[in-house]
């Protein structure tokens, strides 16, 4: 089991990237990257998504010390990035948090990526419907 700092350092080295280069690509300072690699700071979720995308690893790999496969759930990350582009990051962040909290039933077995993606889409669709209803009910009236 490796910690986030170890995984970050190794993934960056595999890409032959300096701390400064990584910082520029993920829009943080070199000092922040150094702090992440030393374990002094832990990046916000949006930065972790950027790190994963730039280094070609999954968010799960970076966040979960028990995950040894850098590619595990990478398709889900790509799907989340696509939805983020369409719906905005706060909507996706809320939906992702909901999914993370409600996926306990998946822990007992291997669930195909397609089913995880379908669940994610269903949650996002439900969230968007509620958001639209709230906008109609509480939004500005003409």
What pLDDT does residue 16 have?
A: 96
Residue 25 has pLDDT above 60, yes or no: yes
What are 76's two structure tokens? 């889900």
Q: What is the mean pLDDT of the chain?
A: 81
Q: How many CB atoms lie within 10 A of CB 43?
A: 19
Among 101, 87, 81, 89, smallest CA distance to 129 is for 87
CA distance 134 to 105: 30
More confident residue, 106 or 28: 28
pTM over 0.75: no
Task: Return all residues near 8 (Cβ < 8 A) that are at least 6 apart.
Answer: 33, 36, 37, 51, 55, 62
Mind listing the pLDDT tens digit for each residue in 34-71?
Answer: 999 999 999 988 889 889 989 999 988 998 898 898 88
18-32, 52-66, 93-107: range with highest mean pLDDT: 18-32
Cβ neighbour number for residue 60 with a 10 Å cutoff: 18
How far, in Å, CA of 60 to CA of 52, rounded? 9
- Shortest CA distance to 127 belongs to which of 77, 73, 86, 75? 86
Q: Are 67 and 61 in contact (CB under 8 A)?
A: yes
Residue 67 has a pLDDT of 85
Gap between the Cα atoms of 23 and 100, Å rounded: 27
pLDDT at 10: 94
């Amino acid at each position: 089991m490796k910690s986030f700092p170890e995984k970050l350092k190794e993934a960056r080295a595999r890409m032959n990237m300096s701390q400064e280069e990584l910082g520029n690509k993920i829009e943080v300072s070199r000092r922040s990257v150094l702090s992440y690699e030393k374990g002094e700071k832990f990046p916000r979720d949006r930065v972790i998504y950027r790190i994963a995308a730039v280094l070609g690893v999954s968010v799960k790999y970076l966040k979960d010390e028990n995950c040894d496969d850098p590619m595990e759930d990478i398709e889900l990350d790509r799907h989340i990035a696509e939805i983020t582009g369409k719906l905005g990051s706060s909507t996706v962040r809320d939906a992702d948090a909901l999914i993370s909290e409600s996926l306990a039933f998946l822990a007992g077995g291997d669930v195909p990526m397609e089913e995880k993606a379908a669940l994610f889409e269903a949650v996002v669709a439900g969230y968007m419907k509620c958001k639209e209803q709230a906008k109609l009910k509480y939004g500005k009236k003409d």
